[in-house]
Amino acid sequence: MKTIQHWIDGTAVPGTDTAPVFDPATGRQQAQVVLGGSADVDTAVTAAARAFETWSESSLTQRTQVMFAFRQLLVEHEEELGRIISAEHGKTVDDARGEITRGREVVEFACGLGDVLKGSFSDQVSRGIDVHNFRQPLGVVAGITPFNFPAMVPLWMHPIAIATGNTFILKPSERDPSAANFVAELYQKAGLPDGVFNVVHGGKDAVDAILTHPGIEAVSFVGSTPIAKYVHEQATSHGKRVQALGGAKNHAVVLPDADLEFTANHITAGAYGSAGERCMAVSVAVAVGAAADGLVEVLERKAREVKVGPGDAPGVEMGPLVTKVAQERVENAVGTAATQGATVVVDGRGLKIDGHEDGFFTGPSLLDHVTVEMDAYKEELFGPVLAIVRVDTLDEAIAVINANPYGNGTALFTASGEAARRFQRNVKVGMIGVNVPVPVPMSYYSFGGWKDSLIGDSPIHGPEGIRFYTRPKVVTTRWPQPAQQVAAGFNFPTSS
């Protein structure tokens, strides 16, 4: 049985307690991962703090050269890393390669920090006095990341943290932990000094140790809203900066003037891609007026055409869910929706794949006539379930979205520029797509929603990532001539 160990100070570190790691396509255990606690976190913090002493003093050129090398290694090992992700998460290899590509874009952003980190200089703000500013790293920082993107979400964090001079401790999901160790080895090959990037595996004990450790300056988190609130409360109460990104219920609004074939293609991919296990998945389609019947007809056809199977099989578009518990939760939600009055247009429950009968598979499900009072609308199902809500007008659709407690992503499908402008100005959501179903911004913008999708006020990567992992200094200087006498005043200083 393969054992996945911690990675601390440049080497694999064993542990005592373990948890199983399953192959979602077969339902069988394929490995075990060590579960760390406070002692392991403390060991990692000690190593990271020691590494920070020299890494924080390294040149910006040295740090970006490591990032360039790391980026190239991600390109060269994309297939291998993609298959590691697919084997533990269940998503298709193509989907896994896609998440690596999007994560690599953050590395590319980190490669260009020389321009982003330039400070400013003001000459002669007062007679003989200049002012300039610059940013410095925090110290040891940590990331706690979810199972659904075991490469991409950590890559939203550690490249920027490391390139700005911090050292990093990653606590990945124990469901698919191998990607984190693989990335650690790539960093070592890229020339990153030992102790700058560390991996501590584990569950709640490891999380709590990170949130309370006095040697950790900041914590980044992506996961469900209840845990995001817990992370934010615990970490801030222990004096840490916190990025805490929570859950979502993303709506795609479809107007009668939309091209239904184009729209259904993109909503189907947005709803069922990665088996719906992503915080930017389209989980609700809001059909406006006359668009509804035609949209449901095309979506039904598209949902039935989705090819489901093992993630490494050619032609497969959707793999299994990550665990048996996830499979049961999603299928129970479809049954509950039917009981509450929804029309089950496509029923993905009970799907069996030949040769993989014990895998955690469920097919795409499409629910029509869903209301905002139903559980299928209110809950974040995190699975391949698309709910159709029918409204009469665009303004009614906007009101539905704004009344929802989440505000991560949303999309509008239309041919009307006026409608698009009205939608993007009035909807209370952080990331908006117009004829784009999954509006994840590029790495040089920041990712983050509104309302219960972002706890606190710190989005991730892009300019907000730079701000989060650094603190500013402002320096006021005077260099008087030796013979010059400058009177010192006892009043509060002013410029003149």
Cβ atoms of 18 and 3 closer than 8 Å:
yes
Structure tokens at 470: 């650094």
Cα–Cα dist 429/98, whole Å: 25
Cβ atoms of 419 and 393 closer than 8 Å:
no
**DSSP secondary structure of 397-414:** HHHHHHHSSEESEEEEE-
From 279, 285, 303, 326, active-site residue: 279
- State phi, psi for 266 to the nearest 5 degrees: -75, -35
Cα–Cα dist 442/436, whole Å: 13
Sign of the Cα torsion 156, 158, 159, 165 reads positive
Looking from the CA of 359 toward its CB, the CA atoms found within 13 Å total: 27
Cα–Cα dist 268/365, whole Å: 11
Cα–Cα dist 174/21, whole Å: 7
Structure tokens at 32: 């075990």
Structure tokens at 375: 């559980």
Single out the residue of 336, 265, 258, 266 nearest to residue 292, CA to CA. Answer: 258
- 279 counts as catalytic: yes
Cα–Cα dist 261/118, whole Å: 47
Cα–Cα dist 174/1, whole Å: 16
Terminal CA-CA length for the chain: 74
| Catalytic positions | 279
